[in-house]
Structure 1
Amino acid sequence: MEKKPLKKFEAPELEDQAVLFFEALHQAADSGIKEIDPVYGGVTLGITLPPLGEGDRGIVYPLRSHSLALPEARGALCLKVAKQQPVCRERLLEEAMTTEFFLSEQVYVPRIYHLDPLGRFCIKEFVEGESITSLYLRFNELSVKSQQLILEGLENFLNRLLELFKKRPDCKVSVSPNNIYVLSEGGRFKDPTQFVLIDPGTTLKKNYEGYTFNKYWNEVLPDRIRKYQRTGYLQWLVPQEVTQSERDEAKEFEIFHDLKPAEIFLLLKTAKTIEFEPEEIILREGAIGENFYLILEGEVEVRRGHYSKPGSWHMRSAGDRSWGKWPSCSMSPGP
């Protein structure tokens, strides 16, 4: 069977370029560097660390300078960089279409001032505001008037998006509480409130049939925020970031030997370092595991049954050992 020719954004070297780019930024962050000026796609980018946010397909950074001639790009800017998989570059290329559509329908989305032709990155308008996630978590602290403004404005904004999804199914995007922001001035919300769709990347498989504002506020938001908390997505629940030396050490583990460098990088980029006290129980027999552990330092004792009863057994694990379930990846020095 004849192979289909690769599209430009699918070129294998683009994946390697992305890995090198992100590794350079991670190394800078690990060294405490706050500003870095890498060249990516032939453009010098003045990036400020840490990033503003991260999604499944890309990472957004404050952009203080660039080597392009963009006279229309006034005010604060940000840089969205696609992750290394081809689908991430494809989705970023689609954002030009969705951005144009939503702006034409008077839905506020950050303007794109430059889009890399291979989908590696884009330079966008930087919009300041507060996410629905943040507002939901502190909703009871708001004044009654602010609560009313948020609820009425969000309901109108959500209903408008649902109408547009029916009009243009190819422009269906996420209505995640981290993807909708509210603008404010001097710490106060505008009246009427102004909402912003931060990331117009498409989510074409998402089914919004039967979606209502009541369902969104009373079911979807609480469930999504619980997920953020469970996975450590909320910043104050995220354990310590893995250092570069720990990342380099983990690459030597046998379980990674058959993986590509890009795949190893993707796993370790999401890993966190967790320290346990001596004799602290990490997980119990029969419990559902949610993490995969790599032992970087120390030992872990694994016991089956009650170790004081006849027939029970235990083992000690140290060095190049890994254990646990694979849904997510954590890195742990043993006690």
Structure 2
Amino acid sequence: MDVKVNNISKSFDHKTHVLEDLSIVIPSGSLTTLLGLSGCGKTTLLRIIAGLETSDTGSISLGDKVVFDAEKKINETPIKRNVGFVFQDFALWPNMSVLQNVEFGLDSKMPPLSLKETVTSFWKKHKERKEKIKTKAMECLKMVRMDAYANRLPSELSGGQKQRVAIARAIAIDPSLILFDEPLSALDALLREEMRMEIRNLVKTLKMTAIFVTHDQEEAMSISDSIIVMNKGKIVEQGTPEEIYWHPKSKFVSEFIGKASFLDPNHFLRPEDISLSFSKKKEKISVTVEHVQCKGGNYFIEAKDTNGRVFCFFDEKALEIGKTLPIYFSEEDIREVR
């Protein structure tokens, strides 16, 4: 299901402009990340798509259905939009078991039983309905490897387990679109890496359309089919992770995603473009090592030339700080930005 956002703007108290005339198209079946600094408007945009906030202008379509149109006064409720939402703080009911948390969303979506039924018929259908909800909830918990914890309370779970339950609850309603609002920010680094792959695999297995919000560049690069970079309420750039990293169109994106070594205001190199050996790289600059960071199997080096330009690159050895040495790159590796 395609997601089309047209000319969306949002301000609070008619003063603070959070979003300014945003338009994006998210292809069906893709996992798209909204990436930007804190306060750039990405969570507000996500909440507007979900129907939890109302845009001042524009329209939103989920597939062929218009769920919001400011001019036509169309504004479908979150339930009618059939959108799953995974929150940063898990948003689990503390007094409900894991199973009950997942069942709750299913129960609220299913149509109520008719009170015109006979008592016997009503209770029979009520029992069938409860069994159907339980079966579906357990299937979703199994998908996120939480079926063994069905009877536990949220207080008895780790942060990662709570987020798995939140994901199970979101997918249980068979949403047309699933939204993730910085779902991994409260987890430790090792668990974040594990969970981001689980989320991607789950979205792809279920063939869902998903929008993922984060301020973490590495997270966006590893989980996304497409990245939308936002800054100060505007969309700066959209592309695949490879396009955003290797061929950014703006200086902001080149510096925000990864490290950029600028030769001049409009031309830069990535760390992978720079080598300490001559080989086929013919351009040469003399630099002095200023910082060295261990990155596991190699070292990240920052060095300066006599003009004060900073060059970032990797090497297998920890270079001595203060050492002056030549670095090499090819002319075809130089990238241009506006």
TM-score by length of 2: 0.28
Bigger RCO (CA 8 Å, 6+ sep)? 2
More strand by share: 2
